[in-house]
């Protein structure tokens, strides 16, 4: 299943929200008492006009629905931003936007 | 003398050939041979081991990094963390919840970074959130203690 994401970029700032359970493999299900298998985003990239500005390795310690916001020097209106993500099960997602 | 040089050249040529074959066979991805996902660091169960695995054991405390996080987190499942730095030429940032079951939460390689990164992490118990910033080839670090009333890491 594709990883769903939303992205906004303006005023030198990129904000990304992913929809993902972010399970670290240690949590026990309240009903069954069984450990919920690890399921988290492992890699993300953000490129502005084709140049990678963030290449992230992530662990299961990210909160559910991982959120990132960061500032990029020199980013301007009309620049193209592409975000990609991949989790530990091989599911992938990508989204692009134009800096407003 | 001549002979030794020749042997060395032959040997290095042979190993270069092996690496090229490995790349061709898809065993090594040339652009991401090292950076794919540091399983040793992310699987480490102690902060010191995670820091060692990312080569950050020697990071120096710096006032040019501010880790912003709540003093008290009532819900350890969602702890907002900001890393703000005035250090120039930032190359990477690591974020750790020092007493988490797996302390390393994220490791970012950055270009054109403009001093601000914000995310949300899980924390199992009251602990320091540590940021390690590599800038201009050197490692710097800062922490912020967060008191956690309800942990968010399972267990």
Q: What is the DSSP string of B42-64?
A: HH-SSHHHHHHHTT-TTPEE-TT
B91–chain A Cβ distance below 8 A for any pair: no
Checking ipTM against 0.90, whether it exceeds it is: yes
Q: How many CB pairs under 8 A join A and B?
A: 116
Contacts of A21 in chain B (CB under 8 A): none
Start-to-end C-alpha separation, chain B: 63
Q: What stretches of chain B adopt beta strand conformation (E)?
A: 60-61, 65-68, 72-73, 79-85, 90-97, 104-110, 113-121, 127-135, 138-148
- Cα(B63)–Cα(A80) distance, rounded to whole angstroms? 34
Output the pTM of the full model.
Answer: 0.85
Edge-to-edge, what's the strand order for the sheet holding B113-121?
A4-10, A13-19, A67-72, B113-121, B79-85, B65-68
B93–chain A Cβ distance below 8 A for any pair: no
Q: What digits encode the pLDDT tens for the residues A35-88? A: 999 999 999 999 999 999 999 999 999 999 999 999 999 999 999 999 999 999
Q: What digits encode the pLDDT tens for the residues B40-77? A: 999 999 999 999 999 999 999 999 999 999 999 989 99
């Amino acid at each position: 299943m594709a990883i769903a994401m939303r992205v906004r970029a303006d005023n030198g700032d990129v904000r990304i929200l992913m929809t993902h359970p972010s399970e670290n493999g240690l949590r026990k299900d309240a009903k069954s008492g069984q450990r919920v298998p690890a399921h988290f985003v492992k890699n993300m990239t953000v490129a502005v006009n084709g140049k990678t500005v963030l290449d992230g390795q992530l662990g299961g310690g990210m909160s559910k629905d991982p959120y990132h916001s960061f500032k990029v020097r020199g980013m301007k209106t009309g620049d193209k931003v592409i975000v990609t993500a991949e989790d530990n099960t091989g599911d992938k997602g990508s989204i692009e936007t134009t800096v407003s | 003398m001549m002979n030794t040089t020749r042997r060395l050249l032959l040997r290095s040529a042979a190993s270069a050939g092996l690496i090229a074959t490995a790349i061709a066979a898809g065993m090594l991805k040339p652009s991401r041979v090292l950076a794919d996902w540091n399983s040793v660091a992310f699987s480490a169960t102690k902060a010191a081991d995670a820091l060692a695995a990312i080569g950050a054991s020697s990071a120096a405390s710096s006032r040019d990094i501010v880790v912003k996080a709540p003093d008290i987190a009532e819900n350890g499942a969602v702890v907002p963390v900001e890393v703000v730095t005035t250090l120039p030429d930032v190359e990477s940032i690591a974020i750790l919840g020092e007493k988490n079951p797996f302390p390393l939460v994220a490791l970012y390689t950055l270009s054109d970074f403009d001093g601000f990164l914000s995310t949300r992490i899980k924390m199992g118990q009251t602990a320091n959130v540590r940021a390690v910033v590599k800038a201009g080839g050197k490692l710097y670090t800062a922490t912020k203690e967060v008191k956690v009333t309800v942990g968010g890491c399972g267990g």
